[in-house]
């Protein structure tokens, strides 16, 4: 390891030890890092400052400049407060909404955030206890607040915590506020933070907002009659120890479902997530207990939400009666199909509706929208971009749904982030509709593939932790834009390369056209002659680079599904080999 880097980190650590700002527990952690013979942990904790990005903060909890702790949270909040005061000059009625999920230190960080905002003269609506991320977004809009913060690390492992920053429209911040907030945060030294809160400016909220939110969630419903006929749909739900337990069973009951079972071990609020390896519904292991209970109770479907209840996972039965976990693309595709098909059948489509998907999400959604005459818009990964399109088209076009492959969907516009309570209620309505028609969710998925074509979506996460990993990921993107740019993938010629950093789409002959996007992004996409699509981007919140591969295959009947998956997976493996991953 670089001796200069170690010395630099030791110097930063000693600054923490010699400052009167930091408490003794923090200093004890820092001393342990300094005293350790292996300096890897010290370097990881101090080699950089945890970056306040466009979505806020996310990192491993602990002492250090590159860790989530009350001092990093405090400096970020002071910078955010400074920006709000600048953005709304002369306003004396400024307010923010603050919430948190089930993470360790979540309440402590949320109260720290509330104290600092109030110390800066900004009224704080602080939730009484943990609440879902989408409810925070809803509350910002409902209370006409100027901003909001949710203390959450979403679906990350238990070592993490985070800080999502929202603006007055209830969406995570975009330009120009994102860079403006970042600039203010970067100016703040820990000594500048106003730590002592003003209790007169902190209002605790809870039950009344829950009621308003639950009423709004019902706007995502398409057909009440279907639910009335299938109110005994057998549902198993797990919050994976998180915030969904507060809202989701109640939301399902408010829609009319009467046969709801919960996984008792996972209804326990616990930031250590003792029953799962990782609280990420994208990981099939997280669904094990739910499927076990579903088998015992002969359930129709098993559903989960992640710790902050913005993402969902769905498990349904295949024709053999076995549990089949739907991936995020399949879920998103099913939502899009049902919303369009049934709103059309009920005469609810007026001709100005639109759907949104992210650029890495399955192209089958566009086929569904195009065939049914509904506009579909593409945007970058992250729900702030979906929220931006809702805002831009408000009053002109009607948003009816939007989602991304990473298990997030938003079926109504009163919230401006992923919303698992509303999406879970809607998927149960879809399951009820399927049952009403003698089908399962799995049968419905097969019907969609047969009508619109089959593709398999596969994501490869290449994890590279620490500073050396960050450097390696950076170099991979440089290489893919240069010497290692693929000419063929999986035996099929690359016919189009989209570079969202350069905002160009280049064909096989080298002819380039401009991409119409609101900003640049470090994403590459390759499209091949046979319909394969590959997207690559470094994660903005985790130490990894992600490869999203969509490969087509022939599927002529429901029984051909397994063979189609195998055929497409062969293409995926060939693509991975070509990319060296």
* Per-residue pLDDT tens digits for 454-493: 999 999 999 988 878 888 899 999 999 998 999 999 999 9
- Say yes or no to pLDDT of 195 above 80: yes
Q: Report d(CA 543, CA 156) in Å as an integer.
A: 11
Cα dihedral: 171, 177, 178, 181 (round 10):
-120
- Say yes or no to pLDDT of 541 above 70: no
Structure-token match 């960050």, residue found: 470
For residue 216, the model assigns a pLDDT of 98
* Cα distances (angstroms) measured from residue 203 to each of 96, 116, 125, 198, 534: 10, 14, 5, 11, 48
In sequence order, which ranges of 88-132 are alpha helices (DSSP H)? 106-119
Residue 92 has phi, psi (to 5 degrees) of -110, 5
Active-site residue list: 154
8 A C-beta contact, residue 362 and residue 333: yes
Q: Report d(CA 125, CA 128) in Å as an integer.
A: 9
Structure-token match 């991409």, residue found: 515
8 A C-beta contact, residue 209 and residue 139: yes
pTM above 0.85, yes or no: yes
Q: What does CATH list as the number for 454-579? A: 3.30.310
Strand blocks (E) in 249-331:
260-262, 301-305, 312-317, 323-326
Q: Report d(CA 170, CA 243) in Å as an integer.
A: 19
- Say yes or no to pLDDT of 519 above 80: yes
Residue 126 has phi, psi (to 5 degrees) of -105, 120
pLDDT tens figures, 38-68: 999 999 999 999 988 878 899 999 999 999 9
Average pLDDT over residues 89-94: 95
* Range 214-452 classified under CATH 3.90.950.20: no
User: What average pLDDT does the chain have?
Assistant: 96
* CA 167 remoteness from chain centre: 17
Query: Are 214-452 and 454-579 the same fold in CATH?
Result: no
Read off the pLDDT band of 401 (50, 70, 90): very high
Show me where the domains of the chain are located.
1-47, 67-205, 214-452, 454-579
Provide the CATH topology of domain 67-205: Alpha-D-Glucose-1,6-Bisphosphate; Chain A, domain 3 (3.40.120)
């Amino acid at each position: 390891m670089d001796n200069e880097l170690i010395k630099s980190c030791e110097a930063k650590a000693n600054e923490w030890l010699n400052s009167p700002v930091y408490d003794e527990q923090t200093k004890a952690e820092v001393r342990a890092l300094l005293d350790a013979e292996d300096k890897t942990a010290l370097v990881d904790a101090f080699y950089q400052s945890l970056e306040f990005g466009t979505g806020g903060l996310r990192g491993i909890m602990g002492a250090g400049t590159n860790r989530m702790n009350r001092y990093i949270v405090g400096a970020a909040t002071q910078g955010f407060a400074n920006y709000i005061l600048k953005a709304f000059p002369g306003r004396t009625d400024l307010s923010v909404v603050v919430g948190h999920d089930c993470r360790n230190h979540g309440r402590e960080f949320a109260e720290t955030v509330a104290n600092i905002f109030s110390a800066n003269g900004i009224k704080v609506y602080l939730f009484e206890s943990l609440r879902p991320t989408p409810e925070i977004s809803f509350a910002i809009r409902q209370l006409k607040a100027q901003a909001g913060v949710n203390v959450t690390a979403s679906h990350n492992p238990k070592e993490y915590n985070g800080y999502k920053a929202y603006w007055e429209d209830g969406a995570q911040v975009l330009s120009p506020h994102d860079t403006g907030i970042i600039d203010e945060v970067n100016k703040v030294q820990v000594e500048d933070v106003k730590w002592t809160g003003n209790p007169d400016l902190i209002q605790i909220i809870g039950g009344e907002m829950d009621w308003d939110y639950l009423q709004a969630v019902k706007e995502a419903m398409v057909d009440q009659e279907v639910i009335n006929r299938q109110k005994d749909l057998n549902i198993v739900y797990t919050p994976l120890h998180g915030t969904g337990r507060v809202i989701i069973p109640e939301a399902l009951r408010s829609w009319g479902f009467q046969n709801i079972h919960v996984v008792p071990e996972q209804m326990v609020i616990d930031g250590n997530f003792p029953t799962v390896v990782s609280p990420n519904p994208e990981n099939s292991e997280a669904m094990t207990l739910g499927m076990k209970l579903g088998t015992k109770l002969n359930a129709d479907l098993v559903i989960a939400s992640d710790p902050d209840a913005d993402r969902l996972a769905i498990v349904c039965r295949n024709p053999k009666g076995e549990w089949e976990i739907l991936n995020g693309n399949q879920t998103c595709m099913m939502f899009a199909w049902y919303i369009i098909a049934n709103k059309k059948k009920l005469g609810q489509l007026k001709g100005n509706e639109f759907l949104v998907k992210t650029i890495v999400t399955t192209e089958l959604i566009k086929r569904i929208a195009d065939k049914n005459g509904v506009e579909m818009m593409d945007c970058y990964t992250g729900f702030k971009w979906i929220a931006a399109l809702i805002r831009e088209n408000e009053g002109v076009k009607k948003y009816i749904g939007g989602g991304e492959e990473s298990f997030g969907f938003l079926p109504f516009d009163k919230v401006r982030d992923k919303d698992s309570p509303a999406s879970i209620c809607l998927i149960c309505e879809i399951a009820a509709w399927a049952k009403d028609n003698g089908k399962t969710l799995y049968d419905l998925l097969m019907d969609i593939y047969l009508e619109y074509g089959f593709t398999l979506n596969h994501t490869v996460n290449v994890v590279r932790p620490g500073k050396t990993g960050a450097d390696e990921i950076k170099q991979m993107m440089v290489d893919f834009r240069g010497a290692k740019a693929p000419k063929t993938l999986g035996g099929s010629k690359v016919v189009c390369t989209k570079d969202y950093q350069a905002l160009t789409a280049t064909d096989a002959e080298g002819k380039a056209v401009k991409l119409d996007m609101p900003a640049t992004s470090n994403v590459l996409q390759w499209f091949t002659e046979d319909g394969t699509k590959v997207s690559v981007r470094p994660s903005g919140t985790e130490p990894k680079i992600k490869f999203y591969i969509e490969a087509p295959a022939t599927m002529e009947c429901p029984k051909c599904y397994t063979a189609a998956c195998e055929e497409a997976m062969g293409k995926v493996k060939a693509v991975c080999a070509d990319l060296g991953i």
